[in-house]
Structure 1
Amino acid sequence: MTEQRSPLPFEPKGSGKSAGIPVGARQEAIPRYVANRMARRIAVFTGLPSVAGMGVFIASYFMVTKNIANIPPSATLVSSGFFFILGLVGLSVGLLTASWEKEPGSLLGFENFKPNLQRIRQSVRAQKQLDQK
Protein backbone atom coordinates (compact mmCIF):
# COMPACT_ATOMS: atom_id res chain seq x y z
CA MET A 1 0.00 0.00 0.00
CA THR A 2 1.39 3.40 -0.92
CA GLU A 3 1.45 6.21 1.58
CA GLN A 4 0.31 9.76 0.82
CA ARG A 5 2.90 12.50 0.81
CA SER A 6 2.80 16.22 0.24
CA PRO A 7 4.44 17.50 -2.96
CA LEU A 8 7.92 18.96 -2.73
CA PRO A 9 8.32 22.71 -3.42
CA PHE A 10 10.22 22.15 -6.65
CA GLU A 11 7.90 19.54 -8.15
CA PRO A 12 5.92 20.57 -11.24
CA LYS A 13 2.15 20.39 -11.32
CA GLY A 14 0.78 16.90 -11.81
CA SER A 15 3.83 15.07 -10.50
CA GLY A 16 3.76 12.33 -7.91
CA LYS A 17 0.98 9.80 -7.59
CA SER A 18 -1.40 11.64 -9.92
CA ALA A 19 1.19 11.51 -12.69
CA GLY A 20 1.58 7.73 -12.35
CA ILE A 21 4.90 7.87 -10.49
CA PRO A 22 4.99 5.50 -7.51
CA VAL A 23 5.55 7.34 -4.24
CA GLY A 24 8.33 4.98 -3.15
CA ALA A 25 10.28 5.36 -6.41
CA ARG A 26 13.44 7.45 -6.34
CA GLN A 27 12.81 10.80 -7.99
CA GLU A 28 15.39 13.22 -9.24
CA ALA A 29 15.38 16.72 -7.76
CA ILE A 30 15.34 18.12 -11.28
CA PRO A 31 13.76 15.89 -13.93
CA ARG A 32 16.03 15.06 -16.87
CA TYR A 33 13.82 16.83 -19.44
CA VAL A 34 13.97 20.01 -17.33
CA ALA A 35 17.75 19.71 -16.88
CA ASN A 36 18.20 19.31 -20.65
CA ARG A 37 15.98 22.34 -21.25
CA MET A 38 18.04 24.35 -18.73
CA ALA A 39 21.29 23.29 -20.39
CA ARG A 40 20.07 24.43 -23.80
CA ARG A 41 18.94 27.78 -22.42
CA ILE A 42 22.22 28.28 -20.57
CA ALA A 43 24.14 27.50 -23.75
CA VAL A 44 22.22 30.20 -25.61
CA PHE A 45 21.92 32.87 -22.91
CA THR A 46 25.55 32.44 -21.77
CA GLY A 47 27.20 31.25 -24.96
CA LEU A 48 26.14 34.07 -27.27
CA PRO A 49 27.35 36.91 -24.99
CA SER A 50 30.59 35.03 -24.29
CA VAL A 51 31.26 34.60 -28.00
CA ALA A 52 30.47 38.29 -28.49
CA GLY A 53 32.93 39.16 -25.70
CA MET A 54 35.69 37.21 -27.45
CA GLY A 55 34.62 38.70 -30.78
CA VAL A 56 35.26 42.18 -29.41
CA PHE A 57 38.93 41.28 -28.90
CA ILE A 58 39.23 39.84 -32.40
CA ALA A 59 37.42 42.76 -34.06
CA SER A 60 39.43 45.29 -32.09
CA TYR A 61 42.73 43.60 -32.98
CA PHE A 62 41.75 43.43 -36.65
CA MET A 63 40.70 47.09 -36.77
CA VAL A 64 43.86 48.32 -35.01
CA THR A 65 46.33 46.20 -37.02
CA LYS A 66 44.74 47.15 -40.37
CA ASN A 67 44.67 50.85 -39.37
CA ILE A 68 40.90 50.99 -39.82
CA ALA A 69 40.33 52.58 -36.41
CA ASN A 70 42.43 53.56 -33.42
CA ILE A 71 40.61 51.81 -30.58
CA PRO A 72 41.93 52.41 -27.06
CA PRO A 73 42.59 49.24 -25.08
CA SER A 74 40.28 50.47 -22.32
CA ALA A 75 37.34 50.55 -24.77
CA THR A 76 38.08 46.96 -25.78
CA LEU A 77 38.31 45.92 -22.15
CA VAL A 78 35.07 47.63 -21.12
CA SER A 79 33.05 46.37 -24.08
CA SER A 80 34.29 42.78 -23.76
CA GLY A 81 33.73 42.91 -19.99
CA PHE A 82 30.14 44.02 -20.61
CA PHE A 83 29.49 40.96 -22.76
CA PHE A 84 31.09 38.60 -20.23
CA ILE A 85 28.96 40.05 -17.42
CA LEU A 86 25.93 39.71 -19.67
CA GLY A 87 26.89 36.04 -20.04
CA LEU A 88 26.91 35.64 -16.26
CA VAL A 89 23.43 37.15 -16.08
CA GLY A 90 22.44 34.76 -18.87
CA LEU A 91 23.41 31.85 -16.66
CA SER A 92 20.72 32.77 -14.13
CA VAL A 93 18.22 33.66 -16.83
CA GLY A 94 18.77 30.29 -18.51
CA LEU A 95 18.05 28.46 -15.27
CA LEU A 96 15.08 30.53 -14.16
CA THR A 97 13.23 30.67 -17.50
CA ALA A 98 13.13 26.91 -18.14
CA SER A 99 9.68 25.34 -17.94
CA TRP A 100 9.24 22.55 -15.39
CA GLU A 101 6.19 21.20 -17.22
CA LYS A 102 6.38 18.46 -19.85
CA GLU A 103 5.66 21.06 -22.54
CA PRO A 104 8.70 23.20 -23.36
CA GLY A 105 6.95 26.59 -23.03
CA SER A 106 7.68 29.71 -25.04
CA LEU A 107 10.91 30.60 -26.82
CA LEU A 108 12.22 33.03 -24.19
CA GLY A 109 10.32 31.52 -21.26
CA PHE A 110 9.99 34.70 -19.21
CA GLU A 111 6.56 33.54 -18.00
CA ASN A 112 8.41 30.82 -16.02
CA PHE A 113 10.73 33.26 -14.24
CA LYS A 114 8.42 34.12 -11.31
CA PRO A 115 7.22 30.53 -10.60
CA ASN A 116 10.80 29.22 -10.71
CA LEU A 117 11.98 31.97 -8.36
CA GLN A 118 9.17 31.00 -5.96
CA ARG A 119 10.27 27.34 -6.18
CA ILE A 120 13.80 28.33 -5.20
CA ARG A 121 12.54 30.39 -2.25
CA GLN A 122 10.31 27.53 -1.05
CA SER A 123 13.15 25.07 -1.38
CA VAL A 124 15.52 27.30 0.61
CA ARG A 125 12.88 27.78 3.34
CA ALA A 126 12.25 24.03 3.51
CA GLN A 127 15.98 23.34 3.76
CA LYS A 128 16.37 25.90 6.56
CA GLN A 129 13.54 24.24 8.48
CA LEU A 130 15.21 20.84 8.09
CA ASP A 131 18.54 22.26 9.24
CA GLN A 132 16.96 23.76 12.37
CA LYS A 133 15.54 20.40 13.48
Structure 2
Amino acid sequence: MKTLICSKQSPQLLPLPKPYPRNPPLQHKISQTLIQPTPTWKLHAQTNAKGFSSSSSKSLRAKTRNPNNNNGKESGEEDEPLPQVVFNRMIVRILVSVGAPLAIGIGLLNLLGLIKDQNLWDVPMWLPFLTTLLTFGASALGIAYGSLSASWDPEKKGSVLGLEEAQHNWAEMWSEENDS
Protein backbone atom coordinates (compact mmCIF):
# COMPACT_ATOMS: atom_id res chain seq x y z
CA MET A 1 0.00 0.00 0.00
CA LYS A 2 2.92 2.36 0.82
CA THR A 3 4.34 1.82 -2.63
CA LEU A 4 1.23 3.17 -4.24
CA ILE A 5 1.15 6.25 -2.07
CA CYS A 6 4.85 7.00 -2.45
CA SER A 7 4.94 6.46 -6.17
CA LYS A 8 6.32 9.54 -7.89
CA GLN A 9 5.16 8.63 -11.37
CA SER A 10 2.19 10.52 -12.61
CA PRO A 11 -0.59 8.50 -14.16
CA GLN A 12 -0.45 8.29 -17.90
CA LEU A 13 -3.01 10.37 -19.64
CA LEU A 14 -4.64 9.16 -22.77
CA PRO A 15 -4.91 11.70 -25.55
CA LEU A 16 -8.36 12.86 -26.49
CA PRO A 17 -9.70 11.20 -29.59
CA LYS A 18 -9.54 13.25 -32.75
CA PRO A 19 -12.87 14.31 -34.10
CA TYR A 20 -13.89 12.45 -37.17
CA PRO A 21 -13.78 14.49 -40.34
CA ARG A 22 -17.19 15.57 -41.45
CA ASN A 23 -18.26 14.51 -44.89
CA PRO A 24 -20.09 16.96 -47.07
CA PRO A 25 -23.87 16.57 -46.86
CA LEU A 26 -25.48 14.10 -49.24
CA GLN A 27 -28.45 16.28 -50.09
CA HIS A 28 -27.91 16.00 -53.80
CA LYS A 29 -27.99 12.18 -53.81
CA ILE A 30 -30.95 12.03 -51.44
CA SER A 31 -33.00 14.46 -53.52
CA GLN A 32 -32.28 12.43 -56.66
CA THR A 33 -33.53 9.22 -55.06
CA LEU A 34 -36.67 10.94 -53.86
CA ILE A 35 -37.40 12.19 -57.36
CA GLN A 36 -36.54 8.94 -59.16
CA PRO A 37 -37.47 5.92 -57.02
CA THR A 38 -35.78 2.64 -57.70
CA PRO A 39 -37.84 0.06 -59.59
CA THR A 40 -39.53 -2.59 -57.50
CA TRP A 41 -39.09 -6.28 -58.24
CA LYS A 42 -42.07 -8.54 -58.56
CA LEU A 43 -42.12 -12.32 -58.46
CA HIS A 44 -43.94 -13.97 -61.31
CA ALA A 45 -45.15 -17.54 -60.98
CA GLN A 46 -46.16 -19.75 -63.81
CA THR A 47 -49.88 -19.88 -64.30
CA ASN A 48 -49.88 -23.66 -64.13
CA ALA A 49 -47.71 -23.87 -61.00
CA LYS A 50 -49.58 -25.54 -58.17
CA GLY A 51 -50.44 -23.25 -55.26
CA PHE A 52 -49.51 -19.98 -56.95
CA SER A 53 -52.72 -19.08 -58.69
CA SER A 54 -55.58 -17.09 -57.29
CA SER A 55 -58.79 -18.77 -56.22
CA SER A 56 -60.72 -17.22 -59.12
CA SER A 57 -58.37 -18.78 -61.67
CA LYS A 58 -58.65 -22.13 -59.87
CA SER A 59 -62.42 -22.10 -60.12
CA LEU A 60 -62.18 -20.95 -63.74
CA ARG A 61 -59.86 -23.86 -64.60
CA ALA A 62 -62.16 -26.28 -62.74
CA LYS A 63 -65.13 -25.07 -64.78
CA THR A 64 -63.28 -25.32 -68.06
CA ARG A 65 -62.01 -28.87 -67.39
CA ASN A 66 -65.34 -30.49 -66.65
CA PRO A 67 -68.29 -28.24 -65.81
CA ASN A 68 -70.53 -31.18 -64.84
CA ASN A 69 -68.08 -32.79 -62.39
CA ASN A 70 -67.73 -30.70 -59.24
CA ASN A 71 -67.36 -33.63 -56.80
CA GLY A 72 -70.38 -32.54 -54.78
CA LYS A 73 -68.95 -29.04 -54.20
CA GLU A 74 -70.12 -25.73 -55.47
CA SER A 75 -67.68 -23.90 -57.72
CA GLY A 76 -66.73 -21.24 -55.13
CA GLU A 77 -66.86 -23.48 -52.05
CA GLU A 78 -63.59 -24.28 -50.26
CA ASP A 79 -62.64 -27.57 -48.59
CA GLU A 80 -64.38 -28.44 -45.35
CA PRO A 81 -62.54 -27.50 -42.16
CA LEU A 82 -60.98 -30.29 -40.13
CA PRO A 83 -63.25 -31.35 -37.23
CA GLN A 84 -61.88 -30.56 -33.77
CA VAL A 85 -62.00 -34.23 -32.73
CA VAL A 86 -59.80 -35.25 -35.67
CA PHE A 87 -57.47 -32.31 -35.08
CA ASN A 88 -56.98 -33.25 -31.41
CA ARG A 89 -56.41 -36.89 -32.39
CA MET A 90 -53.73 -35.81 -34.89
CA ILE A 91 -51.98 -33.55 -32.38
CA VAL A 92 -51.78 -36.31 -29.78
CA ARG A 93 -50.41 -38.78 -32.32
CA ILE A 94 -47.86 -36.26 -33.60
CA LEU A 95 -46.67 -35.46 -30.08
CA VAL A 96 -46.26 -39.15 -29.27
CA SER A 97 -44.59 -40.09 -32.55
CA VAL A 98 -42.17 -37.16 -32.31
CA GLY A 99 -41.61 -37.19 -28.55
CA ALA A 100 -40.90 -40.90 -28.06
CA PRO A 101 -37.94 -41.17 -30.49
CA LEU A 102 -36.63 -37.79 -29.33
CA ALA A 103 -36.67 -38.87 -25.67
CA ILE A 104 -35.06 -42.22 -26.55
CA GLY A 105 -32.33 -40.44 -28.51
CA ILE A 106 -31.54 -38.00 -25.72
CA GLY A 107 -31.58 -40.84 -23.17
CA LEU A 108 -29.20 -42.96 -25.26
CA LEU A 109 -26.82 -40.03 -25.73
CA ASN A 110 -26.77 -39.43 -21.97
CA LEU A 111 -26.26 -43.15 -21.33
CA LEU A 112 -23.36 -43.35 -23.78
CA GLY A 113 -21.80 -40.23 -22.25
CA LEU A 114 -22.13 -41.71 -18.75
CA ILE A 115 -20.52 -44.99 -19.87
CA LYS A 116 -17.62 -43.09 -21.40
CA ASP A 117 -17.18 -40.81 -18.31
CA GLN A 118 -17.13 -43.80 -15.95
CA ASN A 119 -14.48 -45.50 -18.16
CA LEU A 120 -16.67 -48.60 -18.45
CA TRP A 121 -16.33 -48.74 -22.21
CA ASP A 122 -14.53 -46.56 -24.73
CA VAL A 123 -17.54 -45.66 -26.87
CA PRO A 124 -16.55 -45.28 -30.53
CA MET A 125 -17.39 -41.90 -32.05
CA TRP A 126 -19.66 -43.37 -34.72
CA LEU A 127 -22.07 -44.85 -32.18
CA PRO A 128 -23.49 -41.55 -30.80
CA PHE A 129 -23.62 -40.25 -34.36
CA LEU A 130 -25.61 -43.26 -35.52
CA THR A 131 -27.85 -43.07 -32.45
CA THR A 132 -28.58 -39.41 -33.13
CA LEU A 133 -29.18 -40.00 -36.81
CA LEU A 134 -31.66 -42.83 -36.26
CA THR A 135 -33.63 -41.45 -33.33
CA PHE A 136 -33.82 -37.82 -34.42
CA GLY A 137 -34.60 -38.91 -37.99
CA ALA A 138 -37.42 -41.09 -36.69
CA SER A 139 -38.61 -38.11 -34.68
CA ALA A 140 -38.73 -35.98 -37.83
CA LEU A 141 -40.68 -38.67 -39.68
CA GLY A 142 -43.06 -38.80 -36.72
CA ILE A 143 -44.75 -35.60 -37.86
CA ALA A 144 -45.94 -37.19 -41.09
CA TYR A 145 -46.75 -40.53 -39.47
CA GLY A 146 -48.69 -38.86 -36.65
CA SER A 147 -50.97 -37.04 -39.07
CA LEU A 148 -51.41 -40.02 -41.39
CA SER A 149 -52.00 -42.62 -38.67
CA ALA A 150 -54.88 -40.72 -37.10
CA SER A 151 -58.36 -41.64 -38.21
CA TRP A 152 -59.78 -38.84 -40.34
CA ASP A 153 -63.33 -39.98 -39.62
CA PRO A 154 -64.72 -38.12 -36.56
CA GLU A 155 -66.83 -41.12 -35.47
CA LYS A 156 -64.09 -43.75 -35.82
CA LYS A 157 -61.31 -43.72 -33.22
CA GLY A 158 -58.81 -46.01 -34.95
CA SER A 159 -56.23 -48.48 -33.65
CA VAL A 160 -53.38 -47.86 -31.22
CA LEU A 161 -50.56 -47.89 -33.78
CA GLY A 162 -52.71 -46.65 -36.64
CA LEU A 163 -51.15 -48.79 -39.37
CA GLU A 164 -54.49 -49.44 -41.11
CA GLU A 165 -55.41 -45.75 -40.93
CA ALA A 166 -52.01 -44.74 -42.30
CA GLN A 167 -52.43 -47.05 -45.31
CA HIS A 168 -55.96 -45.81 -45.94
CA ASN A 169 -55.08 -42.11 -45.47
CA TRP A 170 -51.98 -42.42 -47.67
CA ALA A 171 -54.05 -43.82 -50.54
CA GLU A 172 -56.77 -41.22 -49.98
CA MET A 173 -54.27 -38.37 -49.96
CA TRP A 174 -52.74 -39.40 -53.29
CA SER A 175 -56.10 -40.14 -54.88
CA GLU A 176 -57.22 -36.56 -54.12
CA GLU A 177 -53.99 -35.31 -55.67
CA ASN A 178 -54.63 -37.23 -58.88
CA ASP A 179 -58.29 -36.17 -59.06
CA SER A 180 -57.58 -32.44 -58.93
TM-score scaled by structure 1? Answer: 0.69
Q: Which of 129, 153, 171 is the aligned partner of 1:77?
A: 129
Uncovered stretches (5+) of structure 2, i.e. residues with no partner: 1-69
Q: Say if 1:52 and 1:83, in contact at 8 Å, map to a contact too.
A: yes
Identity %: 25
CA–CA separation in structure 1 for the residues paired with 2:130 and 2:163: 28
CA–CA separation in structure 1 for the residues paired with 2:86 and 2:127: 39
CA–CA separation in structure 2 for the residues paired with 1:46 and 1:82: 13
Per-residue CA deviation, residues 3-39 of structure 1 (Å, 9 max, x unaligned), is xx7457xxxxxxxxxxxxxxx8x941x2221111111
Match of 1:12 in 2: none
State the aligned residue count. 107
Code of the aligned partner of 1:109:
G
2:126 corresponds to 1:107: no
CA–CA separation in structure 2 for the residues paired with 1:53 and 1:70: 19
Uncovered stretches (5+) of structure 1, i.e. residues with no partner: 9-23
Match of 2:139 in 1: 87
Code of the aligned partner of 1:114:
Q
2:176 corresponds to 1:123: yes
Q: Say if 1:52 and 1:80, in contact at 8 Å, map to a contact too.
A: no
Q: Say if 2:109 and 2:131, in contact at 8 Å, map to a contact too.
A: no
Per-residue CA deviation, residues 99-132 of structure 1 (Å, 9 max, x unaligned), is 1122311111111122211221133234xx4xxx
CA–CA separation in structure 2 for the residues paired with 1:45 and 1:76: 21
CA–CA separation in structure 2 for the residues paired with 1:59 and 1:120: 40
2:108 corresponds to 1:56: yes
